[in-house]
Structure 1
Amino acid sequence: MSTMQRTEDGSARVAVVIGGSGGIGSAVARRLAAQGMAVAVHYAGRAEQAEKVVDGITAAGGTAVALPGDVAEPDRMTALFDAVEQRFGGVDVVVNTAGIMLLSPLAEMSLDDFDRMHRVNVRGTFVVSQLAARRLRAGGALVNFSTSVTRLQTPGYAAYAATKGAVESMTLILARELRGRDVTVNVVAPGPTATPLFLDGKSEELIGRLASAAPLERLGTPEDIAESVAFLAGPGGRWVNGQVLYANGGIA
């Protein structure tokens, strides 16, 4: 483990990673733990994967716990934040990687699918951001997740990009609303990243074309994205606030 990041009272900083059982979320949880943070690994329906993330962190000498909850339900998320504060004494970093992506031309997408994405991506981000705004200690950081598709206008992504556009708007406004709190609020917007969420349903030919679109000529990895989060959540990112960081290898 790297040098411990500590709060003013000398205790280890505490991070909550929403969606910590997923591809990017698990990489973020491991990376923040490597910075010396105690990490709460949130999961919705994948308890086994979350426990594997926790086991990996603890095996490397870190501190982590897996906690469940529906990201769109305030009572469940409040209970999660309460549990983290009771166990670790407070919350210093909140990273919300939870999201779903359902693709279809706008004219063909069902309202049920649109509402499913809105519930997780928009309502879920609102619930988590509201709790982060109320609970983060001075020197803290909130990092929400968008997508580089908001700049690419890719057919089939209209509904998904619309939910992430909402995430960007509410996050950047929240950064201004927290004036005087010594809390940074930013968005990471990944490009094509080799996660199950991204790869599901795509042909090898399509994946190859997407990989070659960036000047670096490859897909991003969860670890690439985790490095961006670690920067924003760590001491080097304290002067970055109210921004969207496009972590996409130059695709847009």
Structure 2
Amino acid sequence: MKDTTDEDFIRQFDINVKGVFNALRESSTILVDNGSIINLSASINHIMLPTYGTYVATKAAVEQLNRVFSKEIGDRGINVNSVSPGTTNTELFTFEKPQEIIDRLASLSPFNRIEEPGDIAKIVLFLASDDAKWINVQNIGGNGGMS
């Protein structure tokens, strides 16, 4: 955080918090009753890595927005949850990252691999299903047990 500029701080909050806030507000008028809202948080919130202060603050804010919004919209049977991916094999994550670092991060999971986008998609699909209707205001750590 000590090297984060005001511009970086504002940009991260605009994308990660303001974007979710606007989507939640809009969903209150267009989402059908008994629907589901699933936002993304981050498993890194619990690891406390240097330089990630602003990012984890934005994801913590998303989780708090979920808690409050669920109280505002819950009488319509809409559940509000989030998923916290861990290290995910995406182009953004792997871009110019040495394989040694990727392997080290993979070793943080008992499965000894980083997750694939499909791993997260399955969790989101479940949370959007009727089988998950009683799951509400939860943050699911979709990270393969990363610690």
TM-score > 0.5 by shorter chain: yes
Deviation, 1:134, is: 2.1
In 1, the alpha carbon distance for the partners of 2:14 and 2:81 equals 21
Match of 2:68 among 148, 151, 173: 173
Q: 1:142 offset after TM fit, Å?
A: 0.6
* Structure 2 match to 1:208: 103
Distance in 2, matches of 1:112 and 1:217, equals 37
CA deviation after TM superposition for structure 1 residue 222, in Å = 0.4
Whether the aligned pair in 2 keeps the contact of 1:140 and 1:183 (CA below 8 Å) is: yes
Q: State whether residues 176 and 242 of structure 1, in contact with CA within 8 Å, keep that contact through their aligned partners in structure 2.
A: no
How far 1:201 sits from its partner (Å)? Answer: 4.3
The one-letter amino acid of 2:135's match is: V
Shift in alpha-carbon separation, 1:170–1:180, aligned structure 2, 3 A: same
Specify every segment of 5 or more residues in structure 1 that has no aligned partner in the other structure, as ranges: 1-105
Kindly report which structure 2 residues correspond to 1:67-216, keeping only aligned pairs within 5 A, or say none.
106-216=1-111
2:116 is aligned to: 221
RMSD across aligned C-alpha pairs, in angstroms? 1.2
Q: Distance in 2 between matches of 1:158 and 1:203?
A: 23
1-side partners of 2:15 and 2:108: how far apart? 29
Distance (Å, rounded) in 2 between the aligned partners of 1:216 and 1:176: 37
Distance 1:226 1:130 in 2: 24
Read off the aligned partner of 2:83 and give its amino acid letter.
Answer: V
The aligned amino acid for 1:200 is: F
User: In the comparison of the two structures, how many residue pairs are matched?
Assistant: 147
- What is the CA-CA distance between 1:206 and the residue it aligns to? 1.2
Structure 2 SS opposite 1:189: strand
Sequence identity (%): 37
Judging by fraction of residues, say which structure has more strand: 1
Structure holding more helix per residue: 2
The Cα of 1:200 is off from its aligned counterpart by 3.0
Query: Amino acid of the residue matched to residue 164 of structure 1?
Result: K
Task: Give unpaired runs (5+ residues) of structure 2.
Answer: none
Cα distance in 2, alignment partners of residues 187 and 242 from structure 1: 8
Q: What is the aligned partner in structure 2 of residue 250 from structure 1? A: 145
Higher Rg: 1
The alignment partner of 2:42 has SS state of: coil
TM-score, structure 2 length as denominator? 0.94
Q: 1:122·1:166 contact (CA, 8 Å) conserved in 2? A: yes
Report 1 or 2 for greater relative contact order, CA contacts < 8 Å, sequence distance ≥ 6: 2
CA distance, structure 1, for counterparts of residue 92 and residue 64 of structure 2: 23
Task: Output one character per residue of 1:159-204: Cα deviation in whole Å (capped at 9) or x when no partner.
Answer: 1111111111111221122231111100111011111232234322
Aligned AA (1:133): S
Post-superposition Cα deviations, 1:208-241, rounded to whole Å, max 9, x if no partner, equal 1101111111001000000000000011111111
Moved over 4 A (4+): none
